């Protein structure tokens, strides 16, 4: 199942938000599912270009990856999915059904307030771009089969050393992309799941000083080169909780254009923190792309959180839940007075 994401202002590359994509200066070419950016004339694709997802507990990045691929199916792009853990077909089959965006509830009692501008909690993009998805339904098979999908399942390949693993993936990727020379130009969406985990044959997650970290970063470098010279977009997910070496993480982030970290509250002490009770996790924007331009659209704030409801996956600005309790402030004042010790019996309002 994939997840619909409300659009976000600027170039943060999740879901149906605009994002930068490096392409040739092709103003005349119109490819379905792309749109020229107003800022710098690049073609945009709904969802990241070489965007890197760092997922602390690896639950939500898979969902975003599925969303990315689902968007590709709906737009008619070609897909390429490489995975080491789950079979790629499982991921592709689990994509969600596109749906119409839900209508905002019409107010019945306080209908005069309906026309008031809403508080900007949900980050809205100025232009609707992309599709909404219903997480609870899976995509119809006809729609899915209409898209050309290539997959690469690590466990099915013959055992190879790490260096040639990169080459195998790249060769497959090149094959999948000979189509760029054909008359109909189409975008290729690449999904690489859980790169850097042990199943790919790397020891980046096992040791502090891995011997294979150069293989991973070299692979990302070459992938970057391939993306720059073709009409492709790649989304790579990395299980950062497994990678101990922070320097490697830093290098991986710098080799990508957009980097987003998902920090899920599951299993951490933040789950019970009342500040975060409305959300399932935090979203950190580590890097924004600056392709073909000096500066990118800068978001208002970088405090973002996400939550997964039954039908939707939304990303919002982090805001505190309303403080409805009346006893909260009094409790803290008495605690303060007790803490001062000597003046516990004095007039509370004059204590300092």
Closer to another protein at the Cβ: 271 or 300?
300
To another protein, the closest distance from the beta carbon of 293 in angstroms equals 6
Please compute, for residue 168, the number of CA atoms within 13 A of its CA located in the half-sphere on the CB side: 17
Cα 222–Cα 233–Cα 29 angle in degrees, nearest 5: 115
Between 97 and 162, name the residue whose CB sits nearer to another protein. Answer: 162
Binding residues (CB under 8 A) for another protein: these are 22, 24-25, 39-40, 166-167, 170-171, 174, 208-209, 214, 217-218, 220-222, 224-226, 228-229, 245-248, 250-251, 254-255, 287, 290-295, 298-302
Q: State in angstroms the smallest separation of the CB of 83 from another protein.
A: 22
CB 286 → another protein: shortest distance, Å? 9
Which CB, 90 or 209, lies closer to another protein?
A: 209
User: Cβ closer to another protein: 45 or 243?
Assistant: 243
Nearest approach, Cβ of residue 228 and another protein (Å): 5
Nearest to another protein of 278, 300 (CB atom): 300
* Shorter beta-carbon distance to another protein: residue 225 or 274: 225
State which residue, 295 or 342, has the beta carbon closest to another protein.
Answer: 295
Least Å distance, CB 54 to another protein, is: 15
Beta partners for residue 13, in sequence order: none
Distance CA 233, CA 49 (A): 5
Please state the closest distance from residue 114 (CB atom) to another protein, in A. 30
Q: How far is the CB of 18 from another protein (least distance, A)?
A: 17
Alpha-carbon gap, residue 154 to 86, rounded angstroms: 10
Distance of CA 156 to the CA centre of its chain: 27
Q: Which is nearer to another protein, 109 or 294 (CB)?
A: 294
Closest by CA to 285, choosing from 305, 266, 271, is 305
Q: Are 5 and 260 in contact (CB under 8 A)?
A: no
Between 284 and 311, name the residue whose CB sits nearer to another protein: 284
What is d(CA 234, CA 50) in angstroms, rounded to the nearest whole number?
A: 4
Least distance to another protein, CB of residue 215, Å: 9
Minimum separation from the CB atom of position 61 to another protein (A) = 22
């Amino acid at each position: 199942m994939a997840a619909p994401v409300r659009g976000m202002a600027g170039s943060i590359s999740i879901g149906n938000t605009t994002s930068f994509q490096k392409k040739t200066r092709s103003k005349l070419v119109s490819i379905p599912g792309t749109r020229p950016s107003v800022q710098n004339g690049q073609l945009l694709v709904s969802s990241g270009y070489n965007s890197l997802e760092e997922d602390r507990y690896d639950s939500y990045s898979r969902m975003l990856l599925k969303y990315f691929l689902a968007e590709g199916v709906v737009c008619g792009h070609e897909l390429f999915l490489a995975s080491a853990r789950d079979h790629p077909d499982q991921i592709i089959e689990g994509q969600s059904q596109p749906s119409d965006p839900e209508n905002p509830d019409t107010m019945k009692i306080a209908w005069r307030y309906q026309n008031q501008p809403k508080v900007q909690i949900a980050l809205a993009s100025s232009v609707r771009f992309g599709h909404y998805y219903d997480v609870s339904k899976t995509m119809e098979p006809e729609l899915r089969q209409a898209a050309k999908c290539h997959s690469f399942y690590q466990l099915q390949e013959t055992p190879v050393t790490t260096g040639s693993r990169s080459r195998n993936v790249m060769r497959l990727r090149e094959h999948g992309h000979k189509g760029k020379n054909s008359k109909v130009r189409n975008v290729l969406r690449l999904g690489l799941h859980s790169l850097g985990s042990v199943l790919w044959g790397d020891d980046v997650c096992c040791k502090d000083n891995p011997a294979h970290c150069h293989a991973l970063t070299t692979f990302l470098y070459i992938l970057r080169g391939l993306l720059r010279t073709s009409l492709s977009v790649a989304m790579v997910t990395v299980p950062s909780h497994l990678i101990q070496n922070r320097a490697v993480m830093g290098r991986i982030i710098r080799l990508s254009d957009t980097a987003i970290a998902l920090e899920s509250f599951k299993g951490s002490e933040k789950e019970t923190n009342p500040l975060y009770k409305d959300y399932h996790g935090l979203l950190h924007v580590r890097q924004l792309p600056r392709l073909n331009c000096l500066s990118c659209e800068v978001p208002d704030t970088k405090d973002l959180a996400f939550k997964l409801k039954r039908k939707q996956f939304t990303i919002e600005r982090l805001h505190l839940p309303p403080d409805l309790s009346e006893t909260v402030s009094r409790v803290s004042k008495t605690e303060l007075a007790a803490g001062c010790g000597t003046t516990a019996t004095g007039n509370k309002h004059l204590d300092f």
